[in-house]
Structure 1
Amino acid sequence: MIKTVIYDMDGVIVDTEPVHRYAYYKQFSELNITVPEEMYTTFTGFSTRNTFQTLKGFFPTIEHEVEDLIKRKRNIFNDAFDTKEDLYLLEGVEDLIKDLHNSGIQLILASSASKVTIDRVFTRFNLHQYFTDIVSGEDFPQSKPNPAIFIHAASLSVAPKEECIIIEDSTNGVKAAKAAGIYCVGYNSQHSKLQDLSDADIIINNFSELDAQKISQLKG
């Protein structure tokens, strides 16, 4: 019986991807580099640090230190986030979060986003009250598909990992979930393009397909 649900954030709870994309591409322009769509798509699920570490390997002309690149990107993102009015929780996710919380199922966030970004999203949408723990990818040297973030999140669960599930929308996230040995629900988000969810245990297209009762019985 499932007792803990581990959520990803970007593309699962809220679609901040357009804001991230705006920030990254503005910075790419400042750095005078051209990042093809196919390359950018592979960064889905990466932390900002791992993204820039990868980019520095592709583009030797980037002379800035990774930490300076991170700071600049976050400044662009935060400015855009604060002025973006059309930012909403994804359809059905708030109802599912409330249903799970009211049913006594533990909720943990495990996101590649920085702590500052997570806090901005959770404060804006009043989500702190539903989650017992928040885990940020900035605390781990490697991003998804490395499973470290999910292994740590599962260690915070009230139950063994066999009674946890992960909800993910990215190729890297699904791979990380399976590498951690945890049941994975693949969310086929319209906001996360070109992602391969085929390794997920089940795939959903809308959060209305799930409720606390269905989730509790996913394994057992």
Structure 2
Amino acid sequence: MGRFEVAIFDLDGVIILSEKLYADVASELLISLGIQPENVDRDRFVGGSAERMWSTLFEEHGVDEDVHRILAVEKEMQFKAVQKNLTEIVNPGIFEMINELLELGFELGLATSSWRRSVDQILERLGIGEKFSATVCGDEVTKGKPSPEIYNTILRKLGQSTSRCLVFEDSENGLQSATAAGLTCVRVALGAQSDKEALRIPDFRSSARRDVIEYLKSEFII
């Protein structure tokens, strides 16, 4: 084993492709609050704290509503949507990527903005819960992504230094969170690679997994 010993995954947008489901839930809630979804730039909030999103939107649109009540409603709606569609939204090749990293001797972690109840159900249903040595969820930190708190927390739980950990993230907020914690990040997204990313892959199909393995070889890891 070389420089990296741990791979830390985000959940939404990396292990499962849940963003469309979450966007539909948010649209339904926005309409119920008198806000037209097309008037809201939600891309800036993807991968970040839901509390921050709703607080910002309420302030911008003059909505007098209890943020925590809306959060509870949103999380319940998201939970039901994911449970109903889980098998259809698994990121192609993710199970193979996880197993290949484990075969290389990597320890795995999970750092996600989703709440613990939903995360545990998802990992159990996908049969991968026991593959992760440590997990940290959005309701277990004070500040969500793009704050580095969630990654600093999982580093402590894993007992690892930043130099030993490779992160898989999809969103800009997630990337900012990981890099602010001093971590090396593989971006799972379409488009051109930025200078903040060690590597960018569109998914975890065979060609993308090969790119990850080649990157690890280039770092003298395997």
Q: In the TM superposition, what whole-angstrom CA distance separates every residue of 1:145-198 from its partner, at most 9, and x where no partner exists?
A: 211111111222353210111111111111111111111111125xxxx89855
1:199 aligns with 2:196: yes
Identity of aligned residues (%): 22
Shifted more, 207-216 versus 31-40: the winner is: 207-216
Aligned equivalent of 1:47:
49
Contact 1:174–1:186 under 8 Å retained in 2 = yes
Cα drift, residue 66 of structure 1: 1.4
> Structure 2: how far apart are the matches of 1:70 and 1:128?
25
Q: Deviations over 1:70-97 (max 9, x none)?
A: 1111222223233336523211111011
**Residue pair 1:106, 1:158 contacting (<8 A) in 2 also:** no
> Which stretch shifts more, 27-36 or 202-211?
202-211
Equivalent residue for 1:26? 28
Post-superposition offset of 1:31: 0.8
- From the superposition, tell whether residues 55 and 141 of structure 1 become closer, same or farther in structure 2 (CA, over 3 Å): farther
Q: Does 1:138 align with 2:139?
A: yes
Give the superposition deviation at 1:217: 4.2
CA distance in 1, matches of 2:192, 2:40: 11
- Counterparts of residues 1-220 of structure 1 (less than 5 Å): 1-36=3-38, 39-61=41-63, 63-84=64-85, 87-189=88-190, 197-207=194-204, 208=206, 209-210=208-209, 214=214, 216-217=216-217, 219=219
TM-aligned CA distance change 1:17 to 1:66, over 3 Å: same
1:167 partner SS? strand
Unaligned runs of 5+ in 1: none
Aligned-CA RMSD value? 2.4
**TM-score normalised to the size of structure 1?**
0.87
CA contact (8 A) 1:49 1:138 kept: no
Whether the 8 Å contact between 1:165 and 1:184 is mirrored in structure 2 is yes
Cα distance in 2 for residues equivalent to 1:58 and 1:89: 34
My pick for the range that moved more, 111-120 or 200-209, is 200-209
SS in 2 for 1:141: coil
| CA-CA distance at 1:49 after TM superposition | 1.8
Structure 1 residue 41: deviation in Å?
Answer: 0.8
Deviation string, structure 1 residues 30-67 (Cα, Å, up to 9, x no partner): 11112337611111011222221222221222x22111
Query: Within 1, Cα distance between the matches of 2:75 and 2:159?
Result: 33
TM-score with structure 2 setting the length? 0.86
Contact 1:168 1:186 in 2 (8 A): yes
Whether contact under 8 Å (1:3, 1:158) holds in the other structure is no
Residues 81-128 of structure 1 show CA distances to partners (whole Å, capped at 9, x for unaligned) of 333365232111110111222332110000111112212221221110
Q: CA deviation at 1:214?
A: 4.5
Pairs aligned (count):
215
